[in-house]
């Protein structure tokens, strides 16, 4: 009986060591996400940007006359609630290698979709976590994407200061390797909408999170 009890004790200790090691590895490999999540939970005011949305609405031109002047290839996504200010990278080839390389420069607009602000669905991709040695400043730009709630607003600002204000309408967790009618519905939504997409859960490539928002100033 003693040998059996000792064997169980050793097995439990090994399991605990495994769990601790796994947790430590996750912590170290996703330090940016962990830092942002803890910061958001304990002191959200240090994550949230000041309310730049109201300033932008008051001082800058909204959607207006986009047919007369095409939208440029320089724009910034701003989500005050989760402290996101990131450049949009346009004209990226749709193969995986090109997308991943350009994610080092910001967030990537999926080229086969409408530009933010234009009629149609705009798909924007961003990292939720990255290894500590990841090149670029945007390895965890969408780390807090799941903190957004229906009704939250954010905006896309082009380099000529035209802005498009979006209001979140829903979120979706989906398997990118399986057909999902819910995702198909989001990808074919009417009007002018945007889908912000990132890996989920953070630190894995298992599923994706999609945040849908609609333009509210057209």
User: CATH number, domain at 188?
Assistant: 2.40.260.10
Q: Please name which of 216, 209, 210 lies closest in space to residue 163, comparing C-alpha atoms.
A: 216
Structure tokens, 70: 């095409």
pLDDT value for 161: 87
pLDDT value for 212: 98
What pTM, to 2 d.p., does this model score? 0.78
Scan for tokens 């006359």, then name that residue: 65
Distance CA 212, CA 21 (A): 37
Structural domain containing residue 210: 2-215
pLDDT value for 20: 45
pLDDT value for 69: 80
Distance CA 17, CA 22 (A): 8
* Sequential pLDDT tens for the chain (218 residues): 555 555 566 656 654 554 544 444 444 445 555 566 665 665 565 566 667 877 777 666 665 555 568 899 999 999 999 999 999 999 999 898 999 899 999 999 999 999 999 999 999 999 987 766 677 788 889 999 999 999 999 999 999 888 999 999 999 999 988 999 999 999 999 999 999 999 988 767 789 999 999 999 64
Q: Crossing angle of helices 2-29/31-42, nearest 10°?
A: 90
Kindly give the residue spans of alpha helices, DSSP state H, lying in 136-196.
Answer: 181-187
pLDDT value for 70: 87
Per the structure, how many domains does the chain have?
1
């Amino acid at each position: 009986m003693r040998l059996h009890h000792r064997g169980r004790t050793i097995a439990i200790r090994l399991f605990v060591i495994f769990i601790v090691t796994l947790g430590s590895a996750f912590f170290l490999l996703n330090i940016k996400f962990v830092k942002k999540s803890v910061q958001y939970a304990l002191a959200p005011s240090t994550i949230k940007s000041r309310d730049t949305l109201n300033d932008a609405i008051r001082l800058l031109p909204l959607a207006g006359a986009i047919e007369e002047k095409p939208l440029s290839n320089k724009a910034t996504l701003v989500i005050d609630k989760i402290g996101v200010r990131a450049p949009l990278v346009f004209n990226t080839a749709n193969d995986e290698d090109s997308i991943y390389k350009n994610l080092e420069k910001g967030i990537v607009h999926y080229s086969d979709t409408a530009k933010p602000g234009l009629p149609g669905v705009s798909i924007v991709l961003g990292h939720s976590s990255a290894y500590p040695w990841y090149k670029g400043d945007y390895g965890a730009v969408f780390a807090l994407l799941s903190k957004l709630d229906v009704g939250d607003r954010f905006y896309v600002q082009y380099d000529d200061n035209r802005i498009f204000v979006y209001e979140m309408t829903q979120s979706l967790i989906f398997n990118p390797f399986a057909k999902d009618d819910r995702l198909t519905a989001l990808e074919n939504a009417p009007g002018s909408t945007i889908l912000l997409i990132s890996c989920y859960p953070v630190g894995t490539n298992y599923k994706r999170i999609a945040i849908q928002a609609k333009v509210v100033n057209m």
